[in-house]
Structure 1
Amino acid sequence: MGKIGQSLVLLVSVLLWSTWLPVSLCAKKPVAVSRKEDVPYIKCQVCEKLASQLYQHVQTKQAEISPKKISEYQIIEIAENVCNLKKEEADWILKIDIVETGDKLELIEQDAEGICNSECKTIERACQEVMGYSDTDVAEYIYTSKPDMESLVNYLCKDLTKTCKTKPPPLPKDRTPGEPFLPKPTKEAEMEKMLRSMEGMPGAPSMKMYSREELMNMKNLGEDADDEEDDDDDEEKFPSNLGKLLREKESRKGDWKQRISKGIKNASETLKKHATKVAIRVKRWWRGVKAARSKASKAEL
């Protein structure tokens, strides 16, 4: 089955599944906002967990494609996604609770994913600040040096970003406590994973968390359309040969649409890979220039 067919099957599954969920799970939620003031107190811990996740994701990807070796481009993709809650690689953020302990904040890992409120967004923000523009650098280090987890933590958090070079400041006594960690209902978590897996599929809608009524309306529209088609078939009697020609014409249109969609996606992936390679070469060249200047200045001294 093609990707368009797969996306349609997933969409139908989502619509049917929505009838089993309570309205409270499907209703649109207010957008959570990060607490910028908390970032300095958790940044080093976030960096350590980020490095750990990078290591684990790379190992998992390597096991999936073995005996083929993981490419630098694939590692860069992981580094780009690991701090983005819209991507599967960032699911680790959903399992962390920020707990106030004395004059510091601690990141406590939970057994299940939690509902993403301000704490979840704060961890995402801290993660993105740590990674910054270092994704290609850390990807190159992983690809060329193949470090163990401890070496990767030291490289990312102490050498590359300096995030853990100094201790975080003491926590203000008047800090407003964060919200409690609330485990996410299993069905809601599975629904979100299904919707996210449809992103980027040709023919799949750009789906977000619709309300139950909206999902049911979409389902009913589809049923109404099917009923209208059945009525048209009963009322209008075309010659069999003409009907066959029309079906063949529609089939050819569908093939062209699928080919164009596939071509656009392939071209986009190729351009992204090319841009990544260019960025890597430019960074290496610039490091060489800086190293040469540093040697020249030392020689003058």
Structure 2
Amino acid sequence: MAEHGRTWQSTANINRNSAQLQDTYFTFATRAEARPNASIEFTPDDFINDYRSKFVNATGSSFNLISGGGPKPNRIDESLGVKYYEVEYVVRTQLGFSFDSLKTLHFITTFAASKDAVNIMNCQALDDKWDEDGATLRKVAESFTVCQVCEQAVEEAIIYSKENKISSEDDLNDMIDGLCSVKKKEGRWVAHLDIVQEDAGGPLSVEKQDGLGYCRGECTIVQRACQSSLRGKEESLASMLQQDTANKKMKEKVCKKICEKKRPKIADWKDEPFEPRDPKEVETQDMMAKMKAETGMSMKMYSREELERMTDGDMETMAAREAGHPNLVVGIGWTFFGKF
């Protein structure tokens, strides 16, 4: 499993270098390893022992196992002959060249051992943010599937490229770079998706809602599922879009391996209600982004409710921050400040 350990470091580095999300430590990644008789012979103990020997106190590093290990799986999918093992642990390790780069990371790693392979999902966050991020990452580990999100991402890439007449290789690659980011117009579809569980204890699925929703825990799961499913396939997708390949063929090419996995049943799922955003808020936000791109002016947007709660002192302080006399611009149901 030493080779497996090195593989994880490489995969984690890919996630940390992503510029799409602000918290670069809050990531997940998936991979598969060929291993004959894995469903019979595999246990996570080799992985655990490898990490125990790798993260030792002599280097300022440490490994703390919270749960997992041993031959007994957490759950079994009898229909597929797959055994699932979950390991939760905390690693303190140096992520740079100086001693002050030591970070403490909290992980959940899920192994799915089948007849001839082990599929692995690795989820991580900073340990001091685990109370905030852990629940989201645990949902990712439990769901262990990104098939629907992958197919939806391909569908959205097709729609967006056609509606915006994007056809050159460079422009298509730029579009795909932003396809999984809710902050980009091409990635805004992510905020339309809601993770649902039709039957208690059953598998999870995603449903597309009519309006945009606020991007919270479930939206974050979808963004990372999108990133994971498209990683390494960006150029292939751009090429197929440029050649106007049939929709079905594109989805099969990009998502086939991911979609071969059966969705597991999830116990104790706590749903996050889908909360739609006010279309006027989105419209005003787009207008502000356009003005910033054209003028370089940075603005802050406030809702009417927020302005009504402000005192005269709040308004004066806000104006002083603008280092001048700000003009007050009233949008459609929204107000924002900026210097012109």
Shift in alpha-carbon separation, 1:216–1:113, aligned structure 2, 3 A: farther
Q: Could you tell me how far apart the structure 2 residues matched to 1:119 and 1:142 are?
A: 28
Q: CA deviation at 1:221?
A: 6.8
For the pair 1:51 / 2:154, whether they are aligned, the reply is: yes
Secondary structure class of the residue paired with 2:211 = coil
1:48-72, Cα deviation, whole Å (9 max, x unpaired): 100100111111122xx7xxxx201
CA distance in 2, matches of 1:216, 1:195: 22
The 1:165–1:216 alpha-carbon spacing in structure 2 relative to 1, beyond 3 Å, is farther
Aligned pair partner of 1:191 in 266, 276, 284: 284
Structure-2 change in CA distance of 1:42 and 1:188 (3 Å): farther
- Tell me the distance in 1 between the aligned counterparts of 2:316 and 2:147: 45
Deviation at 1:218, TM superposition (A): 5.0
Change (3 A) 1:185 1:216: farther
Shift of 1:107: 1.0
Question: Residues of 1 paired with 2:277 and 2:172: CA distance?
Answer: 29
What whole-Å deviation, never above 9, does each CA across 1:172-217 have from its counterpart, x for those lacking one?
A: x223x12111111233222332333345445222x56567557875
Map 1:1-301 to 2 at 5 A: 35-39=136-140, 40-62=143-165, 70-102=167-199, 103-143=202-242, 145-158=243-256, 162-171=257-266, 173-175=267-269, 177-198=270-291, 200-205=293-298, 207=299, 212=307, 218=318, 225=325
Are the counterparts in 1 of residues 146 and 225 from structure 2 also a CA contact under 8 Å? yes
- Shift of the alpha carbon at 1:38? 3.0
**Distance 1:204-1:133 versus aligned 2 partners, 3 A rule:** farther
**In 1, distance between residues paired with 2:292 and 2:262?**
40
Counterpart in the other structure of 1:230 = none
Larger radius of gyration: 1
- For the aligned residue pairs, the C-alpha RMSD in angstroms reads 3.1
> Residue 210 of structure 2: SS of its match in structure 1?
coil
Tell me the CA shift for residue 92 of structure 1. Answer: 0.9
**Separation (CA, whole Å) in 2 of partners of 1:226 and 1:54:** 40
Deviations 1:252-289 (A, max 9, x none): xxxxxxxxxxxxxxxxxxxxxxxxxxxxxxxxxxxxxx
Verify the 8 A CA contact 1:78 1:89 in the aligned structure 2.
Answer: yes
Structure 2 unaligned segments of length 5 or more: list them: 1-131, 328-340
Look up the SS of the partner of 1:107 in the other structure. Answer: strand
Aligned to 1:280: none
Distance 2:294 2:318 in 1: 19
**TM-score normalized by structure 2?**
0.47
For 1:152 and 1:195, locate their aligned partners in 2 and report how far apart those are by CA, in whole Å.
Answer: 35
Q: Contact 2:319/2:325 (CA < 8 Å) preserved in 1?
A: no
> In the alignment, is the contact (CA less than 8 A) between 1:42 and 1:107 conserved in 2?
no
Partner Cα separation in structure 2 for residue 133 and residue 142 of structure 1 = 16
Contact 1:58–1:75 (CA<8 Å) still a contact in 2?
A: yes
Alpha-carbon separation, structure 1, partners of 2:285 and 2:224: 21
Q: Which has the higher contact order (CA 8 A, sep 6+)?
A: 1
> Are the counterparts in 2 of residues 55 and 152 from structure 1 also a CA contact under 8 Å?
no
Offset of residue 121 of structure 1: 1.1
Higher strand share: 2
CA contact (8 A) 2:204 2:263 kept: no
Q: Say if 2:145 and 2:261, in contact at 8 Å, map to a contact too.
A: no
Change beyond 3 A, Cα 1:209–1:129: farther
Secondary structure of the structure 1 residue equivalent to 2:261: coil
Q: TM-score, normalised by structure 1?
A: 0.53
- In 1, distance between residues paired with 2:280 and 2:317? 21
Distance, in Å, in 1 between the alignment partners of 2:225 and 2:316 is 38
1:26-59 Cα shifts (integer Å, max 9, x gaps): xxxxxx8582233344510000100100111111
Higher helix share: 1
Rounded to whole Å, the distance in 1 between the matches of 2:301 and 2:145 is 30
